[in-house]
Amino acid sequence: MIMPFGLIAAPILIKRNKANNRYYRLIYLISVVSLLTNLFILAVIIADRFNWGITSYR
């Protein structure tokens, strides 16, 4: 439920973050890390849905 929110919120924060903000670099870093984490979670969900990377012992 939180993953789609992170995929929407992180790019908005990156775009609206101004260089004159005191925590400009910190906000940018956290937003990029959050975006990458959410993309990884999305990839895991898709891989799980299509059974990619699962080894069968049958």
Query: Residue 55 above 70 pLDDT?
Result: no
Higher pLDDT, 28 or 3: 28
Assess contact for 17 and 28: CB atoms under 8 A.
yes
> What confidence category does residue 32 fall into, taking pLDDT thresholds of 50, 70 and 90?
very high
Query: Residue 29 above 90 pLDDT?
Result: yes
Global pTM reads 0.74
Taking alpha carbons only, the member of 7, 54, 57 closest to residue 34 is 7
Mean pLDDT for the stretch of residues 31-53:
87
Please tell me the distance from the alpha carbon of residue 5 to that of residue 3, in angstroms, as a whole number: 5
> What confidence category does residue 26 fall into, taking pLDDT thresholds of 50, 70 and 90?
very high
Given this model, what pLDDT does residue 18 score? Answer: 84
Tokens 């929110």, located at residue:
5
